[in-house]
Protein backbone atom coordinates (compact mmCIF):
# COMPACT_ATOMS: atom_id res chain seq x y z
CA UNK A 1 0.00 0.00 0.00
CA UNK A 2 1.36 3.37 -0.94
CA UNK A 3 1.76 6.02 1.69
CA UNK A 4 0.55 8.77 -0.62
CA UNK A 5 -1.84 11.27 0.88
CA UNK A 6 -3.60 11.73 -2.41
CA UNK A 7 -3.30 11.06 -6.11
CA UNK A 8 -4.70 13.08 -8.94
CA UNK A 9 -6.14 16.54 -8.68
CA UNK A 10 -9.58 15.92 -7.17
CA UNK A 11 -10.05 16.73 -3.51
CA UNK A 12 -12.62 15.86 -0.90
CA UNK A 13 -12.90 16.58 2.78
CA UNK A 14 -11.35 13.35 4.11
CA UNK A 15 -8.33 13.94 1.86
CA UNK A 16 -8.06 17.52 3.05
CA UNK A 17 -8.16 16.26 6.61
CA UNK A 18 -5.38 13.75 5.99
CA UNK A 19 -3.25 16.32 4.21
CA UNK A 20 -3.84 18.85 6.96
CA UNK A 21 -2.71 16.40 9.61
CA UNK A 22 0.47 15.56 7.67
CA UNK A 23 1.25 19.24 7.09
CA UNK A 24 0.55 20.11 10.70
CA UNK A 25 2.95 17.43 11.86
CA UNK A 26 5.78 18.82 9.74
CA UNK A 27 4.98 22.42 10.61
CA UNK A 28 4.89 21.89 14.35
CA UNK A 29 7.53 19.22 14.78
CA UNK A 30 10.09 19.95 12.10
CA UNK A 31 9.74 23.69 11.71
CA UNK A 32 8.71 24.40 15.27
CA UNK A 33 5.93 26.80 14.27
CA UNK A 34 3.54 28.24 16.79
CA UNK A 35 0.11 28.99 15.34
CA UNK A 36 -3.38 30.16 16.23
CA UNK A 37 -6.06 27.48 15.89
CA UNK A 38 -6.93 27.12 12.22
CA UNK A 39 -10.28 27.43 10.57
CA UNK A 40 -10.18 26.63 6.88
CA UNK A 41 -13.13 27.58 4.73
CA UNK A 42 -13.84 26.39 1.22
CA UNK A 43 -15.37 29.09 -0.95
CA UNK A 44 -16.41 29.54 -4.57
CA UNK A 45 -14.82 31.95 -6.99
CA UNK A 46 -17.67 34.40 -6.62
CA UNK A 47 -17.25 34.44 -2.87
CA UNK A 48 -13.55 34.98 -3.41
CA UNK A 49 -14.37 38.08 -5.44
CA UNK A 50 -16.71 39.18 -2.67
CA UNK A 51 -13.94 38.78 -0.15
CA UNK A 52 -11.50 40.71 -2.35
CA UNK A 53 -13.73 43.66 -2.58
CA UNK A 54 -14.22 44.03 1.15
CA UNK A 55 -10.52 44.39 1.96
CA UNK A 56 -10.28 40.60 2.26
CA UNK A 57 -12.30 40.61 5.44
CA UNK A 58 -15.23 38.26 5.96
CA UNK A 59 -17.37 41.11 7.23
CA UNK A 60 -17.33 44.74 6.29
CA UNK A 61 -19.65 47.69 6.40
CA UNK A 62 -21.23 48.76 3.13
CA UNK A 63 -19.67 51.44 1.03
CA UNK A 64 -19.71 52.18 -2.67
CA UNK A 65 -15.94 51.98 -2.99
CA UNK A 66 -16.12 48.26 -2.25
CA UNK A 67 -18.72 47.91 -5.00
CA UNK A 68 -16.42 49.70 -7.39
CA UNK A 69 -13.57 47.42 -6.48
CA UNK A 70 -15.80 44.39 -7.00
CA UNK A 71 -16.97 45.59 -10.41
CA UNK A 72 -13.39 46.19 -11.46
CA UNK A 73 -12.07 42.89 -10.14
CA UNK A 74 -14.93 41.02 -11.71
CA UNK A 75 -14.37 42.62 -15.10
CA UNK A 76 -10.66 41.85 -14.90
CA UNK A 77 -11.36 38.27 -13.87
CA UNK A 78 -13.99 37.66 -16.54
CA UNK A 79 -11.78 39.17 -19.21
CA UNK A 80 -9.01 36.86 -18.06
CA UNK A 81 -6.56 39.60 -17.16
CA UNK A 82 -6.10 38.42 -13.66
CA UNK A 83 -6.44 35.06 -12.00
CA UNK A 84 -7.97 34.83 -8.57
CA UNK A 85 -5.72 34.47 -5.60
CA UNK A 86 -5.53 30.90 -4.44
CA UNK A 87 -6.12 31.92 -0.87
CA UNK A 88 -6.94 34.69 1.49
CA UNK A 89 -5.93 34.53 5.11
CA UNK A 90 -7.19 36.69 7.91
CA UNK A 91 -5.19 37.74 10.92
CA UNK A 92 -7.64 36.62 13.55
CA UNK A 93 -7.89 33.97 16.16
CA UNK A 94 -8.93 31.39 15.05
CA UNK A 95 -6.97 32.14 11.91
CA UNK A 96 -9.35 31.94 8.96
CA UNK A 97 -8.00 30.84 5.59
CA UNK A 98 -10.10 30.67 2.47
CA UNK A 99 -9.44 27.95 -0.07
CA UNK A 100 -10.87 28.27 -3.53
CA UNK A 101 -12.99 25.29 -4.52
CA UNK A 102 -11.44 25.18 -7.99
CA UNK A 103 -7.97 24.47 -6.66
CA UNK A 104 -6.50 21.04 -7.28
CA UNK A 105 -5.62 18.91 -4.29
CA UNK A 106 -1.97 19.83 -4.68
CA UNK A 107 -2.87 23.49 -4.57
CA UNK A 108 -5.04 22.96 -1.51
CA UNK A 109 -2.12 21.35 0.27
CA UNK A 110 0.18 24.14 -0.84
CA UNK A 111 -2.27 26.79 0.29
CA UNK A 112 -2.82 25.13 3.65
CA UNK A 113 0.92 25.06 4.23
CA UNK A 114 1.26 28.65 3.03
CA UNK A 115 -1.67 30.29 4.76
CA UNK A 116 -2.74 28.12 7.65
CA UNK A 117 0.82 27.63 8.87
CA UNK A 118 3.14 30.17 7.25
CA UNK A 119 1.02 33.29 7.58
CA UNK A 120 -0.60 32.05 10.73
CA UNK A 121 2.74 31.62 12.50
CA UNK A 122 3.80 35.03 11.34
CA UNK A 123 0.60 36.70 12.54
CA UNK A 124 0.93 35.12 15.92
CA UNK A 125 4.61 35.80 16.47
CA UNK A 126 5.70 38.97 14.76
CA UNK A 127 6.09 41.76 17.25
CA UNK A 128 4.22 44.34 15.16
CA UNK A 129 1.12 42.18 14.91
CA UNK A 130 1.32 41.28 18.60
CA UNK A 131 1.67 44.89 19.53
CA UNK A 132 -0.87 46.49 17.23
CA UNK A 133 -3.69 44.15 16.42
CA UNK A 134 -6.03 42.17 18.57
CA UNK A 135 -6.49 39.00 16.61
CA UNK A 136 -9.12 37.72 19.02
CA UNK A 137 -11.48 40.63 18.69
CA UNK A 138 -11.20 41.87 15.10
CA UNK A 139 -14.16 39.86 13.77
CA UNK A 140 -16.42 40.97 16.59
CA UNK A 141 -15.37 44.52 15.99
CA UNK A 142 -16.14 44.29 12.28
CA UNK A 143 -19.55 42.86 13.06
CA UNK A 144 -20.16 45.82 15.31
CA UNK A 145 -18.92 48.24 12.64
CA UNK A 146 -21.19 46.75 10.00
CA UNK A 147 -24.23 46.95 12.25
CA UNK A 148 -23.36 50.42 13.39
CA UNK A 149 -22.90 51.84 9.90
CA UNK A 150 -26.12 50.19 8.76
CA UNK A 151 -27.98 51.67 11.73
CA UNK A 152 -26.56 55.10 10.97
CA UNK A 153 -27.61 54.84 7.35
CA UNK A 154 -31.10 54.05 8.46
CA UNK A 155 -31.26 56.86 10.94
CA UNK A 156 -29.32 59.67 9.26
CA UNK A 157 -29.63 58.77 5.59
CA UNK A 158 -27.30 57.10 3.17
CA UNK A 159 -25.89 60.31 1.76
CA UNK A 160 -24.79 61.61 5.13
CA UNK A 161 -23.07 58.38 6.06
CA UNK A 162 -21.52 58.09 2.63
CA UNK A 163 -20.05 61.58 2.81
CA UNK A 164 -18.56 60.85 6.23
CA UNK A 165 -17.09 57.54 5.14
CA UNK A 166 -15.70 59.09 1.94
CA UNK A 167 -13.91 61.71 3.96
CA UNK A 168 -12.66 59.22 6.52
CA UNK A 169 -11.39 56.85 3.81
CA UNK A 170 -9.44 59.70 2.24
CA UNK A 171 -7.55 60.10 5.50
CA UNK A 172 -7.08 56.40 6.19
CA UNK A 173 -3.32 56.56 5.60
CA UNK A 174 -3.13 59.41 8.07
CA UNK A 175 -5.35 57.60 10.54
CA UNK A 176 -2.77 55.47 12.29
CA UNK A 177 -0.56 55.86 15.30
CA UNK A 178 2.92 55.12 14.07
CA UNK A 179 4.88 55.46 17.25
CA UNK A 180 2.57 54.96 20.19
CA UNK A 181 -0.37 52.82 20.93
CA UNK A 182 -3.61 54.66 21.41
CA UNK A 183 -4.43 55.03 25.07
CA UNK A 184 -6.48 52.05 26.10
CA UNK A 185 -8.94 52.06 28.94
CA UNK A 186 -7.84 49.91 31.84
CA UNK A 187 -9.62 46.69 32.62
CA UNK A 188 -11.43 48.36 35.52
CA UNK A 189 -12.65 51.17 33.31
CA UNK A 190 -14.10 48.67 30.88
CA UNK A 191 -15.87 46.75 33.62
CA UNK A 192 -17.16 49.92 35.18
CA UNK A 193 -18.51 51.11 31.83
CA UNK A 194 -20.16 47.77 31.30
CA UNK A 195 -21.78 47.98 34.74
CA UNK A 196 -23.06 51.50 34.04
CA UNK A 197 -24.47 50.43 30.71
CA UNK A 198 -26.31 47.54 32.32
CA UNK A 199 -27.66 49.88 34.96
CA UNK A 200 -28.85 52.25 32.28
CA UNK A 201 -30.55 49.48 30.38
CA UNK A 202 -32.25 48.35 33.55
CA UNK A 203 -33.54 51.80 34.39
CA UNK A 204 -34.64 52.42 30.83
CA UNK A 205 -36.43 49.09 30.55
CA UNK A 206 -39.88 49.38 29.19
CA UNK A 207 -42.30 46.51 28.94
CA UNK A 208 -43.59 47.84 25.62
CA UNK A 209 -40.26 47.34 23.92
CA UNK A 210 -40.60 43.63 24.27
CA UNK A 211 -43.15 43.77 21.51
CA UNK A 212 -40.63 45.10 19.02
CA UNK A 213 -40.23 42.64 16.21
CA UNK A 214 -37.28 40.33 16.68
CA UNK A 215 -34.23 41.18 14.67
CA UNK A 216 -34.07 44.81 15.61
CA UNK A 217 -30.65 45.13 17.13
CA UNK A 218 -30.95 47.58 19.91
CA UNK A 219 -27.25 47.33 20.53
CA UNK A 220 -26.64 48.83 17.11
CA UNK A 221 -28.23 52.08 18.09
CA UNK A 222 -25.60 54.78 18.25
CA UNK A 223 -24.41 54.86 21.84
CA UNK A 224 -24.39 57.96 23.91
CA UNK A 225 -20.87 59.35 23.73
CA UNK A 226 -18.97 59.29 26.96
CA UNK A 227 -17.15 62.62 27.26
CA UNK A 228 -14.42 61.10 29.41
CA UNK A 229 -13.79 58.30 27.02
CA UNK A 230 -10.13 58.55 26.09
CA UNK A 231 -10.60 62.24 25.77
CA UNK A 232 -7.60 64.44 26.10
CA UNK A 233 -8.73 67.92 27.00
CA UNK A 234 -5.66 69.51 25.45
CA UNK A 235 -4.79 67.58 22.38
CA UNK A 236 -1.08 66.96 22.28
CA UNK A 237 0.37 68.67 19.27
CA UNK A 238 1.69 67.96 16.78
CA UNK A 239 -0.61 64.99 16.21
CA UNK A 240 0.21 62.47 13.48
CA UNK A 241 -3.16 60.73 13.55
CA UNK A 242 -5.49 63.04 11.67
CA UNK A 243 -8.55 60.85 12.09
CA UNK A 244 -7.95 60.61 15.82
CA UNK A 245 -7.54 64.36 16.11
CA UNK A 246 -10.70 65.06 14.14
CA UNK A 247 -12.66 62.47 16.03
CA UNK A 248 -11.77 64.03 19.35
CA UNK A 249 -11.60 67.70 18.50
CA UNK A 250 -13.61 68.57 15.42
CA UNK A 251 -16.25 71.17 16.23
CA UNK A 252 -18.46 70.05 13.36
CA UNK A 253 -18.97 66.34 13.90
CA UNK A 254 -22.00 64.68 15.39
CA UNK A 255 -21.49 61.81 17.80
CA UNK A 256 -22.26 59.13 15.23
CA UNK A 257 -19.77 60.68 12.83
CA UNK A 258 -17.09 60.51 15.49
CA UNK A 259 -17.84 56.85 16.01
CA UNK A 260 -17.67 56.29 12.25
CA UNK A 261 -14.27 57.98 12.10
CA UNK A 262 -13.18 55.78 14.94
CA UNK A 263 -14.23 52.66 13.03
CA UNK A 264 -12.23 53.69 9.97
CA UNK A 265 -9.29 54.61 12.17
CA UNK A 266 -9.34 51.25 13.92
CA UNK A 267 -9.42 49.50 10.57
CA UNK A 268 -6.51 51.54 9.32
CA UNK A 269 -4.60 50.68 12.45
CA UNK A 270 -5.40 47.01 11.98
CA UNK A 271 -4.02 47.03 8.45
CA UNK A 272 -1.04 49.20 9.26
CA UNK A 273 1.34 46.41 10.31
CA UNK A 274 0.50 44.43 7.16
CA UNK A 275 1.86 47.26 5.05
CA UNK A 276 5.14 47.18 6.93
CA UNK A 277 5.48 43.43 6.75
CA UNK A 278 4.67 42.50 3.16
CA UNK A 279 8.08 41.07 2.32
CA UNK A 280 8.54 39.21 5.58
CA UNK A 281 4.99 37.91 5.77
CA UNK A 282 5.00 36.52 2.25
CA UNK A 283 8.59 35.39 2.56
CA UNK A 284 7.79 33.47 5.71
CA UNK A 285 4.68 31.85 4.24
CA UNK A 286 6.40 30.99 0.98
CA UNK A 287 9.40 29.53 2.74
CA UNK A 288 7.12 27.45 4.99
CA UNK A 289 5.10 26.05 2.11
CA UNK A 290 8.26 25.31 0.13
CA UNK A 291 9.82 23.43 3.02
CA UNK A 292 6.65 21.56 3.90
CA UNK A 293 5.84 20.50 0.34
CA UNK A 294 9.38 19.25 -0.20
CA UNK A 295 9.30 17.37 3.08
CA UNK A 296 6.03 15.76 2.04
CA UNK A 297 7.66 14.68 -1.20
CA UNK A 298 10.83 13.43 0.51
CA UNK A 299 8.78 11.30 2.86
CA UNK A 300 6.83 9.78 -0.01
CA UNK A 301 3.54 11.42 0.95
CA UNK A 302 2.95 13.10 -2.41
CA UNK A 303 3.83 11.82 -5.87
CA UNK A 304 5.99 13.32 -8.60
CA UNK A 305 2.99 14.79 -10.41
CA UNK A 306 1.91 16.74 -7.37
CA UNK A 307 5.45 17.80 -6.67
CA UNK A 308 5.93 19.11 -10.20
CA UNK A 309 2.67 21.00 -10.05
CA UNK A 310 3.77 22.55 -6.79
CA UNK A 311 7.17 23.53 -8.19
CA UNK A 312 5.53 25.10 -11.23
CA UNK A 313 3.22 27.17 -9.09
CA UNK A 314 5.98 28.06 -6.64
CA UNK A 315 8.34 29.31 -9.32
CA UNK A 316 5.70 31.52 -10.89
CA UNK A 317 4.89 33.00 -7.48
CA UNK A 318 8.51 33.91 -6.76
CA UNK A 319 9.25 35.18 -10.24
CA UNK A 320 10.92 38.57 -10.32
CA UNK A 321 10.95 40.35 -13.69
CA UNK A 322 13.76 42.82 -14.26
CA UNK A 323 13.03 46.50 -14.26
CA UNK A 324 12.93 46.91 -18.02
CA UNK A 325 10.50 44.04 -18.43
CA UNK A 326 6.91 44.70 -19.45
CA UNK A 327 5.82 42.53 -16.53
CA UNK A 328 7.74 44.61 -14.00
CA UNK A 329 5.46 45.99 -11.31
CA UNK A 330 7.94 46.77 -8.59
CA UNK A 331 9.81 44.30 -6.47
CA UNK A 332 7.81 41.13 -5.91
CA UNK A 333 7.50 40.68 -2.13
CA UNK A 334 7.17 36.91 -2.57
CA UNK A 335 10.39 36.77 -4.56
CA UNK A 336 12.45 38.97 -2.26
CA UNK A 337 10.97 37.52 0.92
CA UNK A 338 11.41 33.92 -0.11
CA UNK A 339 14.94 34.52 -1.40
CA UNK A 340 15.92 36.13 1.88
CA UNK A 341 14.49 33.31 4.01
CA UNK A 342 16.19 30.73 1.86
CA UNK A 343 19.39 32.73 2.06
CA UNK A 344 19.28 32.83 5.86
CA UNK A 345 18.96 29.06 5.83
CA UNK A 346 21.96 28.81 3.51
CA UNK A 347 24.04 31.14 5.65
CA UNK A 348 23.18 29.24 8.80
CA UNK A 349 23.96 25.88 7.28
CA UNK A 350 26.61 26.39 4.63
CA UNK A 351 28.17 29.84 4.86
CA UNK A 352 30.87 31.19 2.58
CA UNK A 353 33.72 33.38 3.75
CA UNK A 354 31.82 36.43 2.65
CA UNK A 355 28.87 35.43 4.82
CA UNK A 356 31.15 34.91 7.83
CA UNK A 357 32.39 38.43 7.40
CA UNK A 358 28.91 39.94 6.98
CA UNK A 359 26.94 37.82 9.41
CA UNK A 360 29.36 36.65 12.07
CA UNK A 361 26.60 35.66 14.50
CA UNK A 362 24.42 33.82 12.05
CA UNK A 363 26.92 32.15 9.73
CA UNK A 364 27.28 28.46 10.42
CA UNK A 365 25.03 28.54 13.48
CA UNK A 366 23.45 25.31 12.24
CA UNK A 367 19.84 25.66 13.39
CA UNK A 368 18.36 27.54 10.45
CA UNK A 369 14.76 27.28 11.62
CA UNK A 370 15.55 28.79 14.99
CA UNK A 371 17.32 31.68 13.29
CA UNK A 372 14.34 32.19 10.98
CA UNK A 373 11.83 32.06 13.78
CA UNK A 374 13.85 34.68 15.60
CA UNK A 375 13.88 36.94 12.54
CA UNK A 376 10.15 36.45 11.91
CA UNK A 377 9.34 37.47 15.45
CA UNK A 378 11.55 40.49 15.88
CA UNK A 379 11.86 42.43 12.63
CA UNK A 380 9.80 44.36 10.16
CA UNK A 381 10.56 44.74 6.46
CA UNK A 382 12.83 47.71 6.83
CA UNK A 383 14.95 46.42 9.68
CA UNK A 384 14.87 42.90 8.28
CA UNK A 385 16.35 43.98 4.96
CA UNK A 386 18.85 46.25 6.67
CA UNK A 387 19.94 43.34 8.84
CA UNK A 388 19.76 40.27 6.63
CA UNK A 389 20.09 41.17 2.93
CA UNK A 390 23.32 39.50 1.90
CA UNK A 391 25.72 40.57 -0.87
CA UNK A 392 24.99 37.29 -2.63
CA UNK A 393 21.28 38.16 -2.90
CA UNK A 394 22.05 41.66 -4.14
CA UNK A 395 24.13 40.08 -6.86
CA UNK A 396 21.41 37.54 -7.64
CA UNK A 397 18.76 40.22 -7.95
CA UNK A 398 21.21 42.61 -9.60
CA UNK A 399 19.96 45.42 -7.41
CA UNK A 400 21.09 48.92 -8.17
CA UNK A 401 20.18 52.23 -6.72
CA UNK A 402 19.06 55.27 -8.69
CA UNK A 403 19.20 58.86 -7.60
CA UNK A 404 16.29 60.95 -8.81
CA UNK A 405 16.20 64.71 -8.66
CA UNK A 406 12.97 66.21 -9.93
CA UNK A 407 14.47 69.03 -11.99
CA UNK A 408 17.12 66.80 -13.47
CA UNK A 409 16.43 65.17 -16.82
CA UNK A 410 18.04 61.86 -15.98
CA UNK A 411 18.38 59.41 -13.13
CA UNK A 412 21.88 58.95 -11.83
CA UNK A 413 22.99 55.44 -10.98
CA UNK A 414 24.14 55.46 -7.38
CA UNK A 415 25.40 52.28 -5.84
CA UNK A 416 25.28 48.96 -7.65
CA UNK A 417 25.78 45.37 -6.55
CA UNK A 418 29.52 45.53 -6.01
CA UNK A 419 31.88 45.69 -3.05
CA UNK A 420 31.64 49.47 -2.80
CA UNK A 421 27.89 49.60 -3.21
CA UNK A 422 26.43 46.76 -1.10
CA UNK A 423 25.81 48.81 1.98
CA UNK A 424 24.25 51.73 0.17
CA UNK A 425 22.00 49.55 -1.98
CA UNK A 426 20.87 47.71 1.11
CA UNK A 427 20.20 50.91 3.01
CA UNK A 428 18.23 52.42 0.16
CA UNK A 429 16.22 49.27 -0.37
CA UNK A 430 15.43 49.04 3.33
CA UNK A 431 14.29 52.65 3.35
CA UNK A 432 11.99 51.89 0.46
CA UNK A 433 10.11 49.55 2.80
CA UNK A 434 9.93 52.06 5.57
CA UNK A 435 6.63 53.84 5.99
CA UNK A 436 8.47 57.13 5.87
CA UNK A 437 7.62 56.75 2.18
CA UNK A 438 4.11 57.83 3.18
CA UNK A 439 3.59 61.57 3.37
CA UNK A 440 4.28 62.72 6.90
CA UNK A 441 1.33 64.93 7.72
CA UNK A 442 0.72 66.34 11.16
CA UNK A 443 -1.81 68.54 12.82
CA UNK A 444 0.23 71.61 13.73
CA UNK A 445 -2.45 73.56 15.47
CA UNK A 446 -5.99 74.78 15.43
CA UNK A 447 -7.28 78.23 16.05
CA UNK A 448 -10.12 77.23 18.35
CA UNK A 449 -10.91 80.64 19.76
CA UNK A 450 -10.88 82.65 16.55
CA UNK A 451 -11.86 81.55 13.06
CA UNK A 452 -11.25 77.90 13.85
CA UNK A 453 -8.78 77.33 11.05
CA UNK A 454 -7.10 73.94 11.23
CA UNK A 455 -3.39 74.00 10.45
CA UNK A 456 -1.86 70.92 8.88
CA UNK A 457 1.78 70.48 8.10
CA UNK A 458 3.43 68.24 5.56
CA UNK A 459 7.01 67.61 6.64
CA UNK A 460 8.69 66.95 3.36
CA UNK A 461 11.27 64.23 3.09
CA UNK A 462 14.11 65.53 0.93
CA UNK A 463 11.89 68.15 -0.58
CA UNK A 464 9.31 65.86 -2.25
CA UNK A 465 5.96 67.67 -2.18
CA UNK A 466 2.43 66.29 -2.21
CA UNK A 467 0.67 65.59 -5.48
CA UNK A 468 -1.25 68.75 -6.05
CA UNK A 469 -4.53 67.45 -7.50
CA UNK A 470 -4.87 64.77 -4.87
CA UNK A 471 -4.01 67.23 -2.14
CA UNK A 472 -6.85 69.57 -3.06
CA UNK A 473 -9.37 66.74 -3.11
CA UNK A 474 -8.29 65.32 0.23
CA UNK A 475 -8.30 68.76 1.83
CA UNK A 476 -11.90 69.20 0.73
CA UNK A 477 -12.67 66.06 2.73
CA UNK A 478 -10.77 67.34 5.75
CA UNK A 479 -12.73 70.58 5.59
CA UNK A 480 -15.94 68.60 5.58
CA UNK A 481 -14.88 66.81 8.75
CA UNK A 482 -13.49 69.88 10.47
CA UNK A 483 -16.32 72.17 9.42
CA UNK A 484 -14.08 75.20 8.95
CA UNK A 485 -11.11 76.25 6.88
CA UNK A 486 -8.13 73.93 6.67
CA UNK A 487 -4.66 75.05 5.66
CA UNK A 488 -1.87 72.73 4.70
CA UNK A 489 1.67 73.93 4.71
CA UNK A 490 4.58 72.04 3.23
CA UNK A 491 7.73 72.48 5.24
CA UNK A 492 11.15 71.00 4.90
CA UNK A 493 11.27 68.07 7.29
User: Helix, strand, or coil here: 360?
Assistant: coil
Distance of alpha carbon 429 from alpha carbon 6, whole angstroms:
42
CB of 361 to another protein, least distance (A): 25
Q: Which among 445, 483, 486, 491 has a CA at the least distance from the CA of 466?
A: 491
x/- letters, 184..223, toward another protein (CB under 8 A): ----------------------------------------
Q: Comparing C-alpha atoms, which of 92, 82, 84, 86 is closest to residue 57?
A: 92
Give the residue with the Cβ less far from another protein, 136 or 229. 136
Which residue lies nearer to another protein by CB, 102 or 298?
102
| Nearer Cβ to another protein (125/428) | 428
First to last CA, the chain: 69
Report the run of H or E that residue 295 belongs to, with start and end: helix 278-298
Closest contact distance (angstroms) between CB of 360 and another protein is 25
Q: Does 28 contact another protein by CB under 8 A?
A: no
From residue 230 to residue 259, the character string flagging contacts with another protein as x (rule: CB under 8 A) and all else as - is ------------------------------
Least distance from another protein to the Cβ atom of residue 271, Å:
14
| Residues in region 325-344 near another protein by CB under 8 A | 325-326, 328-331
Contact of 246 with 175, CB cutoff 8 Å: no
Closest distance of CB 152 from another protein, Å: 14
16 touches another protein (CB under 8 A): yes
Q: Which of residues 404-463 bind another protein (CB under 8 A)?
A: 404-407, 409-417, 420-421, 425, 428-429, 431-432, 437, 439, 441, 458, 460-463
Cα dihedral: 118, 121, 127, 129 (round 10): 80
CB of 467 to another protein, least distance (A): 4
State the burial class of residue 75 (Cβ atoms within 10 Å of its Cβ: 0-12, 13-18, 19+).
exposed
| Residue among 212 and 410 whose Cβ is closer to another protein | 410
Nearer to another protein, 187 or 462 (CB): 462
How many other CB atoms sit within 10 Å of the CB of residue 64? 11
Nearest residue (CB) to another protein, 369 versus 400 = 400
| C-alpha–C-alpha distance, residues 311 and 297, integer Å | 11
Give the residue with the Cβ less far from another protein, 158 or 299.
158
Instruction: Considering only CA atoms, give the Rg of the chain.
Output: 25
Q: Which is nearer to another protein, 174 or 260 (CB)?
A: 174
The nearer residue to another protein, 55 or 311, going by C-beta atoms, is 55
What distance in Å separates the CA atoms of residue 96 and residue 142, rounded to the nearest whole number?
A: 14
Binders of another protein in range 62-81 (CB under 8 A): 62-68, 70-72, 74-75, 78
Number of residues that bind another protein (CB under 8 A): 98
Of 273 and 421, CB closest to another protein: 421
Stretch that binds another protein, among 38-46, 123-131, 280-288, 309-317 (CB under 8 A): 38-46
For residue 107, what is the DSSP state? Answer: H
Q: Based on the number of CB atoms within 10 Å of its own CB, is 217 exposed (0-12), middle (13-18) or buried (19 or more)?
A: exposed
Q: Convert 173-207 to b/e letters by CB count within 10 Å (16 or more is b).
A: bbbbbeeeeeeeeeeeeeeeeeeeeeeeeeeeeee
Q: Which residue in the set 191, 198, 402, 491 belongs to the binding site for another protein (CB under 8 A)?
A: 402
CB of 449: closest distance to another protein in angstroms?
28
Site for another protein in 252-291 (CB under 8 A): none
What's the length of the chain? Answer: 493
256 vs 185: CA distance, rounded Å: 20
Binds another protein by CB under 8 A, chosen from 398, 448, 487, 489: 398
Closest distance to another protein from the beta carbon of 80 (Å): 13
- The footprint of another protein on residues 109-138 (CB under 8 A) is 116
| Residues 6 or more apart in contact with residue 117 via CB below 8 angstroms | 23, 24, 27, 31, 33, 35, 288, 289, 292
Amino acid sequence: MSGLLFTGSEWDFPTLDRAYAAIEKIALEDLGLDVYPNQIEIISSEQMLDAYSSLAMPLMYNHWSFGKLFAREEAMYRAGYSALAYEIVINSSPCISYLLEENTMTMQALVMAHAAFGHNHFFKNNYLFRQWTNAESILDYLAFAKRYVAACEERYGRDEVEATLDAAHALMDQGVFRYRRPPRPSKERVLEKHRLRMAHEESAYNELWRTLPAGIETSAAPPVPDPDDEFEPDARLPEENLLYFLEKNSPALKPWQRETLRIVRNLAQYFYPQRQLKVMNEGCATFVHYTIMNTLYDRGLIDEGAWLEFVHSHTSVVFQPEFGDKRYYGINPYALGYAMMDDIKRIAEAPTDEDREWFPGLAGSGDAFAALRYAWANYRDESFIEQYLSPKLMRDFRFFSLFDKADHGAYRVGAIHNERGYREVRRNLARQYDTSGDPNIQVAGANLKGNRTLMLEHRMNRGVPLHNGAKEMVLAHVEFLWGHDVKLEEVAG
